[in-house]
Structure 1
Amino acid sequence: MTRPACPEDVDAICGGLPETELGISWGDRPTWKVPRGEKGKGFVLYRAPHKTAVDPETGEMWDDLVVITTPTEVEKNALVADESTPFFTIDHFRGHSAVLVRLSRLGEIDRDELEEIITDAWAAKAPRKLVREHLGD
């Protein structure tokens, strides 16, 4: 096992993938996109606190949520169903291939697992040619 994942790993992993840039979506939310430029599609988004995602014990809105795209609903459901991981979903994301994770809980998985999940997110949004060049067939 590599070391536990940490919040800084999100930007390091996203920034290390080909043709990525940190931009803005959903109005003002920092979002990692691929490819760079106007055609970029978001694959990791820092979500604003919202009443749709709250701590069940305190009722406080979580202020450290990251939304990570999954290739399909199958991968999303597998991540959410695995109780050994910190990934979850909310009603707001029903029908969307994406999981949520709190930055404060990233240490529950190792960096390699986080890198694999983020790379899958990148591959789901990147142009096919770029994916082939980076990951092969």
Structure 2
Amino acid sequence: MKDLDELALALPEATKDVDDGRPTYAVHGKFFCFHRSARPDAVDPETDERLTDVLVFRVADAGEKEAILQDDRGVFFTTPHWNGYNAVLLRIPDLANIDREELQDLVAGAWLTRVQKRIAKAWLAEQGIDEVR
């Protein structure tokens, strides 16, 4: 979570709000990643307890969502609540199964779905990337 916090807040105009100990990262008042509260649609398959450790990351579109969900490690998932919504879920303990560079790409991709185009374009240029999502 420390890496997530550092990477998210390093992005231009990104903010962090904490509600009941759960962070929400946003830009221009729109979330791009957050630690969601326990919901009935995400339960531990062994205990049937609601999961309290789920992060939500926005993604660019349904195609990107499907590609991420195909990851062989099984760390990314979705639930019926998120059908038709461009986001993937990840349990906090599974952050250990992705490296910092992959987390950075995930966070930056989520941020790009919400940031203003001119800011995205400037940031991408600084990174040596020509195209805006």
**TM-score interval (norm. to shorter):** 0.7 to 0.9
Q: Which amino acid aligns with 1:30?
A: P
- Within the candidate set 5, 8, 33, 1:11 is matched to 5
1:68-102 Cα shifts (integer Å, max 9, x gaps): 00011111111111122511100000000000001
How far does residue 66 in structure 1 lie from its aligned partner after superposition?
0.6
* Structure 2 residues not aligned, in runs of 5+: none
Deviating 4+ runs (over 2 angstroms) = none
SS in structure 1 opposite 2:17? strand
Aligned match of 1:121? 110
Query: In structure 1, which of residues 47, 63, 66 is the aligned counterpart of residue 52 of structure 2?
Result: 63
Task: Give the 3 Å change call, closer, same or farther, for CA 42–24 of structure 1 in structure 2.
Answer: farther
Q: Name the SS of the counterpart of 2:123 in structure 1.
A: helix
Question: For residues 59 and 12 of structure 1, what CA distance do their matches in structure 2 show?
Answer: 33
What residue in structure 2 maps to residue 99 of structure 1?
88
Matched, 1:31 2:33: no
In structure 2, distance between residues paired with 1:84 and 1:63? 21
Give the root-mean-square deviation of aligned CA atoms.
Answer: 1.9
Size of the aligned set, in residue pairs, is 126
In the alignment, the residues of structure 2 paired with residue 95 and residue 29 of structure 1 have an alpha-carbon distance, to the nearest angstrom, of 24
What TM-score, normalized by structure 2, do the two folds share? 0.88
The farther-off stretch of 115-124 and 75-84 is: 75-84
Q: Which runs of 5+ in 1 are unaligned?
A: 1-6
The answer to whether the 8 A contact 1:85-1:108 is kept is: no
Tell me the distance in 2 between the aligned counterparts of 1:24 and 1:96: 23
SS of the equivalent of 2:77 reads: coil
Q: Provide the residue aligned with 1:4 in structure 2.
A: none
- The alignment-based identity, stated in percent, is 36
* Candidates 1, 16, 22, aligned match of 1:22: 16
